[in-house]
Amino acid sequence: MNESTYYDILQVTSDADAETITAAFHSLIKRHHPDVSTNLNANEISQKLNQAYDILSDPMKRTKYDGELRRTPQRERNDTHRKAAGSSSGSQADSIRRHVMRRYILPGREREVAEITIRAANICDAMGLGQRLPNVCQVLGGQKLQAEAGVRLIRRSGPKASATSTFTFRL
């Protein structure tokens, strides 16, 4: 866990809502808590998770933190490095939306089905996103995907950000 921001530590995007942040925190702390983890750095990881959650779950602290991030040159270097090393075609959320379009929505339309159901864990597995389920769930449940893809979310089932979370769209 050598991430540079609290958002990175909790594996969420900077526009994540409070529920997504809480779900991500609970998911990560269950795995990395010193009482359950065999990792020698579990205590340090747990402390970082708690610190990140303390800041991001409090609206006043989060607003102050976001302001500090905007003024930090290191953050700009990290963003530039990520863009150069990773995807030159946009954010992780954009990549998830493109994947959903290519693998689910367009094939569904070609088969002329009325609805498609997408399981969040399938996206994580196919894209190699590891434990970034909160990010995937946020994209699948977001208005931007619906607007860009011309679909409507008609049903969401399962926990907020879980491997069993499913999203059903009307095409």
Which of 38-42, 125-129, 152-156 is predicted most confidently? 152-156
Give the pLDDT confidence score for residue 153 in this predicted structure.
Answer: 95
Find the mean pLDDT for residues 97-116: 87
For 42-93, write each residue's pLDDT tens digit. Answer: 888 899 999 999 999 999 999 988 888 777 655 454 554 444 334 444 688 8
* CB burial readout 120-132, b (16+ within 10 A) else e: bbebbeebebeeb
Tokens read off for 13: 């995007």
Give the pLDDT confidence score for residue 72 in this predicted structure.
Answer: 65
Q: Are 115 and 129 in contact (CB under 8 A)?
A: no
Q: What are phi and psi of 20, to 5 degrees?
A: -65, -45
Query: How far is the C-alpha of 25 from the C-alpha of 70, rounded, in Å?
Result: 23
Give the pLDDT confidence score for residue 96 in this predicted structure.
Answer: 92
Find the mean pLDDT for residues 28-50: 88
Pick the range with the lowest mean pLDDT from 75-84, 99-108, 109-118, 123-132.
75-84
Give the pLDDT confidence score for residue 66 in this predicted structure.
Answer: 86
